[in-house]
Amino acid sequence: MRGYKVSTIEITDERFLSKGGGKYQRTLAISDDKNDLIKGTVLELTNEELLTADKYEPGNYKRTDVVLDSGKRAWIYVATEI
């Protein structure tokens, strides 16, 4: 996926932290450099599984859809504040 980079953010969502999630998490962030590239694996989820993932993510993450280099569309979670 081009145009994104990996960044570290501090999680302040107490609900997330109470479940044992670490205070500092790696996340995807939009990059100013369109040559930045993140490689990964696409998973196929049901709607129910996707909604469960939404509930797991901390409050300062949002789900957004992107077009991958392959041309396929996928959901990713990105931090709303970096």
CA proximity to 10, closest of 60, 76, 57, 64: 60
State pLDDT tens for residues 11-42.
887 877 887 777 888 888 888 898 999 998 99
Confidence label for 9 from pLDDT (cuts 50, 70 and 90): confident
Asked if residue 74 has pLDDT above 80, the reply is yes
CA proximity to 61, closest of 5, 1, 12, 2: 12
Rounded CA Rg of the chain: 13
Asked if residue 82 has pLDDT above 90, the reply is no
State pLDDT tens for residues 43-73.
999 999 999 988 887 777 889 999 998 999 9
Phi first, then psi, for residue 64 (nearest 5°) are -140, 150
8 Å CB contact between 2 and 37: yes
Task: Return the pLDDT at 60.
Answer: 74
